[in-house]
Amino acid sequence: MGCVTASDSFATGVDWVMDRAIGKVMNQVVFGQDPYTDLDFADDISLLAELLSLLIPVLEAFAEEAAAIGLEVNWDKTKVQALGTQQPDTGRAYGHEVAVVDESVYLCALTHSSVLSSYGIHCRSGLTRSAMQKSDNCIWKSRLSLSTKLKLYNVCILPIMLYGSECWALSKADARKVDALDQWCLRS
Alpha carbons 19 and 36: distance in angstroms, whole number:
12
Question: Contacts from 5-13 at CB under 8 Å and sequence distance 24+?
Answer: 7/42, 10/42, 10/43, 11/40, 11/42, 13/69, 13/71
Q: What is the pLDDT of residue 160?
A: 92
Q: Shortest CA distance to 121 belongs to which of 131, 130, 113, 110?
A: 110
Q: What is the pLDDT of residue 127?
A: 93
* 113 band by pLDDT with thresholds 50, 70 and 90: confident
Q: Shortest CA distance to 169 belongs to which of 54, 27, 31, 51?
A: 31
Q: Strands 90-93 and 109-112, how do they pair?
A: unpaired
- Give residue 83's Cα distance to chain centre: 13
Q: In the predicted model, what is the mean pLDDT of residues 48-71?
A: 80
Please tell me the pTM assigned to this model: 0.58
Average pLDDT, the chain: 80
Alpha carbons 169 and 156: distance in angstroms, whole number:
24
Q: In the predicted model, what is the mean pLDDT of residues 24-47?
A: 67
